[in-house]
Structure 1
Amino acid sequence: MSPQAAPAASRHANLTLEIGLLMLLSLIWGGSFTLIKVAIGTVPPLTLVAVRVTIAATVLIVMARAQGLPLPRERATWAAFSVQGLLQSAAPFTLISWGEKHIASGLAGVLNATPPLFVLLIAMMTARGRRHIDGRKIAGVGLGLAGVVMTIGFAALKGVGTAAPLAQVAVLGASLCYALAPLWGRRFAGLPATVTAAGAMSSAAALMLPAAAIIERPWTLAPTSEAIVAVLVLSVVCTALAMVIYFRLIRTLGALGTTSGSYLRAGFAMALGVLFLGESFTWSMLAGMLLIVLGVIAVTGPITDRCHQIAKASELAFEQQEADP
C-alpha cells in the first residue's frame, strides 16, 4: 500500500466509525421515546425526569472527575448552566414525558424531529439570519408546518381542550427548547464537553428534584419493574452515554453532520413503537410525518449534499488530528 493510500484508508475507516456512531446515537435517542412510554404508566413525568437527570448528572460528574476535569466554581457559570439545563433537559424531557401519556411514542418521536424548522424560524427573525435563507429552506418550513398540522389533524381544531392535541403541542414545545438550547450553549465553547454536560445535568436535577417532591410525592409511587428498568436505561444510556457520543460527533462530524440524526431518530422512534408497543398510525399521521421529515431535509440540506459535507468535515477533522503532535 502506498503512503498516500494508507491515510486515505484510515480516514475512510474513521468516517465509517463516526457514521456508525451517528446511527447509534439516533437509535438511542429514538429508543428513548419507547422507554418513556414504558415508564410513564407508573412513573409520573416530573419524577421520571428528576430521576433521569439526577442519575445522568452523577454519571457525568464521575466521568469528569475521572478525566481530571474540575467543575467550575463561578456563580455566573452555574447560572448559565441552569438555563442550559432547563432548555436542554428539564423542560423538553418533561414536555415529552407528559405528552407520551396521551400520544404514541412514534408520533412523539416524529414531532420532535422539528428543531431544524424552529431554528430556521428563529433565524428569519434576525437580519443576519435572513441573509442565509433561500427558497428551499422556506419551502422546507412550509412542508414541515403542513406536516405538523396534518399529523395533529384538522379535527383537533374543533377540540382544542382535549388531551391529545395538547400533548402534541407539548412535544412541539420540546422541539422549540431543543432549537434554543444550542444557541445558548455557544457560551460554553471554552469548557470541556464533559464539564458542560455535567453542569447542565446537575442544574436540571436541581430544578426537577424539588418540583417532583412537592407535586408528585414520588415516595408514594409503586412503579413496575419494567418502568424501573426503563428509567435506568433512559438515565445511563439515553442521557449520560448519549451525551458523550453527541459531543464526540460535534468534534468529528461538526454540528451540521450531527444534526442529520434528527430524521434518523424519528424513523427509529416510529419503528420501535410499532415493533415493541404495537402502535399504529393513520394514513393522515403517516402523510404528516413524511411531510415533516421532508421539511427537515429541505431545511438542513439534501441527503447527498449532507453526506458529502459530513465526509468532508470528518476528513478535515482527522487530518487535523494527524497533524497535531
Structure 2
Amino acid sequence: MTKDIQAEGALKAWGFLIILALIWGSSFILIKRGLEVFSPGELGAFRIVAAGMVLLPLSLPRLKGLNSRQVKNLITVGLMGSFIPAFLFAKAQTQLSSSLTGVFNAMTPLFVVIIGALFFHSKITKRNGIGLGIAFVGVVLLLMVKEGKAFGDFSDINSYAFFVILACICYGFNLNIIKYRFVELKPVAITAISLLMVLPMALIYLFAFTQFSFKLLHVEGAYQAAGYVALLGVMGTALALILFNIMVKVATPVFASSVTYLIPIVAIMWGLLDGEVLLAGHYIGIVAVIVGVWVGNRK
C-alpha cells in the first residue's frame, strides 16, 4: 500500500514536471507570435494584465492583514519577478530567436546563487563556481556564433541577448527576496498579490501609452496575437507558478528545479519546428550552458 502511494506521488511529480516544462518552454514561441502584431511594450504589459486579472480571486482575499514591509517587498517581487522580465524578454526576441532565448533563460538558477552571495550573505560553493564557469563559456560561445564562421569575434555579439541575461538577474533578486524576506506568506499568495501590485501599472501603460487598443480593433491578426499573449500570461505566468508550488509540495525543491533543464529543450523544439536555424556553434554553447547549470545547481 505504501509503495503504491509513493509510486502515485512520483507519477504526479513527473506529470507536473513535464507539464511545466511544456508550458514554460512554449512561452518563447508565444512571445514570438505576439510580436508579429504588438510592440515589446504592448506585449509585456498585456502579459502582466492577463496574469494579474486571472489571479484576482486569489489575490484580493489575501490583501487583508498585510503590513507596510510586506507590501513593499511584494511590489519589489512583482517588479523583479514578473513586470520587468516580461518587457525584457519581449524586447530580446525582436532580434533573438525563441530557441536561444529559452537557452539563455536556463541561466536563472546560477544568477540566484550569484545574487544570493553578493547581497544576501549566502555562500558560493566550489561546485557553484565550476558550474558558473562552464555556463559562462557556453553563453560567450552562443553570443559569438555567426553564420558562415565557426565563431565570430566580439563585434559579432548579438547585444539583445543581454536583455535576457538582465531578466535572469531580475529573477535572481526575486527568488532571493522570496527566500529571505518572506517567511509568513505562502508561495501562491506571494505570486498572486505581487502580480496584483503591478497590475495597475501595466493597465495604465497598456491603455494610456501604447497603441494596443487601436491595433486590437484595426490590425489584421491582432485578436489572434492577443490570444497568444493572453495564453502566455494565464498559462506561462499565473497557472505555471501555481503548478510549480504544488510540485514542490508533492516532490522536493531539488526535483522541481530540474524543470530548468527541460525548458530549453522544449524551446529549441518549438524553434526548429518554426523554421529557426541553429548552427553547430549554437549546439556547443547550448550543451555548455545546460551542463554548467546542472553542475552549479546540484546539492
TM-score band, normalised by shorter chain: 0.7 to 0.9
Measured in 2, the distance between the counterparts of 1:52 and 1:294 equals 31
Structure 1 residue identity aligned to 2:30? L
Aligned residue number for residue 114 of structure 1 = 107
Aligned residue number for residue 323 of structure 1 = none
Aligned residue number for residue 31 of structure 1 = 26
CA deviation profile, 1:135-194 (whole Å, cap 9, x unmatched): x3322111100000000106362156xxxx221110111111111111111323312333
When residues 155 and 198 of structure 1 are mapped into structure 2, their CA distance, relative to the original with a 3 A threshold, is same
Aligned residue number for residue 280 of structure 1 = 277
CA deviation profile, 1:54-97 (whole Å, cap 9, x unmatched): 221122121456xx655544333222111001111011111111
Aligned residue number for residue 232 of structure 1 = 230
Equivalent pair of 1:71/1:199 in contact (CA under 8 Å):
no
Q: Secondary structure at the match of 1:155?
A: coil
Once the 2 structures are TM-superposed, how far is the Cα of residue 291 of structure 1 from its aligned partner?
0.4
Aligned residue number for residue 150 of structure 1 = 141
When residues 235 and 129 of structure 1 are mapped into structure 2, their CA distance, relative to the original with a 3 A threshold, is closer
Equivalent pair of 2:130/2:292 in contact (CA under 8 Å):
yes
Structure 2 residue identity aligned to 1:75? S
1:203 aligns with 2:182: no
Measured in 2, the distance between the counterparts of 1:242 and 1:138 equals 30
Once the 2 structures are TM-superposed, how far is the Cα of residue 119 of structure 1 from its aligned partner?
2.4
When residues 34 and 180 of structure 1 are mapped into structure 2, their CA distance, relative to the original with a 3 A threshold, is same
Structure showing greater radius of gyration is: 1
Equivalent pair of 2:120/2:176 in contact (CA under 8 Å):
no
Q: Secondary structure at the match of 2:106?
A: coil
Measured in 2, the distance between the counterparts of 1:236 and 1:214 equals 23
Measured in 2, the distance between the counterparts of 1:127 and 1:88 equals 17
1:218 aligns with 2:215: no
Q: Secondary structure at the match of 1:88?
A: helix
Superposed counterparts of 1:1-325, under 5 Å: 6-63=1-58, 69=62, 71-125=64-118, 129-130=122-123, 133-134=125-126, 136-153=127-144, 155=152, 157-158=154-155, 165-186=158-179, 187-213=181-207, 215-221=209-215, 222=219, 224-275=222-273, 277-301=274-298
When residues 17 and 144 of structure 1 are mapped into structure 2, their CA distance, relative to the original with a 3 A threshold, is same
When residues 15 and 263 of structure 1 are mapped into structure 2, their CA distance, relative to the original with a 3 A threshold, is same
Aligned residue number for residue 148 of structure 2 = none
Q: Which moved more, 1:214-223 or 1:232-241?
A: 214-223
Equivalent pair of 2:74/2:193 in contact (CA under 8 Å):
yes
Q: Which moved more, 1:112-121 or 1:145-154?
A: 112-121
Measured in 2, the distance between the counterparts of 1:247 and 1:53 equals 19
TM-score by length of structure 2 reads 0.88
Measured in 1, the distance between the counterparts of 2:153 and 2:69 equals 44
When residues 156 and 111 of structure 1 are mapped into structure 2, their CA distance, relative to the original with a 3 A threshold, is farther
When residues 156 and 101 of structure 1 are mapped into structure 2, their CA distance, relative to the original with a 3 A threshold, is farther
Measured in 2, the distance between the counterparts of 1:27 and 1:107 equals 16
Equivalent pair of 1:25/1:242 in contact (CA under 8 Å):
yes
When residues 126 and 38 of structure 1 are mapped into structure 2, their CA distance, relative to the original with a 3 A threshold, is closer
When residues 166 and 156 of structure 1 are mapped into structure 2, their CA distance, relative to the original with a 3 A threshold, is farther
- Identity %, equivalent residues: 24
Once the 2 structures are TM-superposed, how far is the Cα of residue 218 of structure 1 from its aligned partner?
2.2
Measured in 2, the distance between the counterparts of 1:178 and 1:127 equals 14
- Structure 2 residue runs of 5 or longer lacking an equivalent are 145-150
Once the 2 structures are TM-superposed, how far is the Cα of residue 204 of structure 1 from its aligned partner?
2.5
Structure 1 residue identity aligned to 2:95? H
When residues 282 and 159 of structure 1 are mapped into structure 2, their CA distance, relative to the original with a 3 A threshold, is closer
When residues 156 and 218 of structure 1 are mapped into structure 2, their CA distance, relative to the original with a 3 A threshold, is farther
Equivalent pair of 2:113/2:172 in contact (CA under 8 Å):
no
Structure 1 residue identity aligned to 2:224? E
Structure 2 residue identity aligned to 1:84? V
Structure 2 residue identity aligned to 1:35? L
TM-score by length of structure 1 reads 0.81
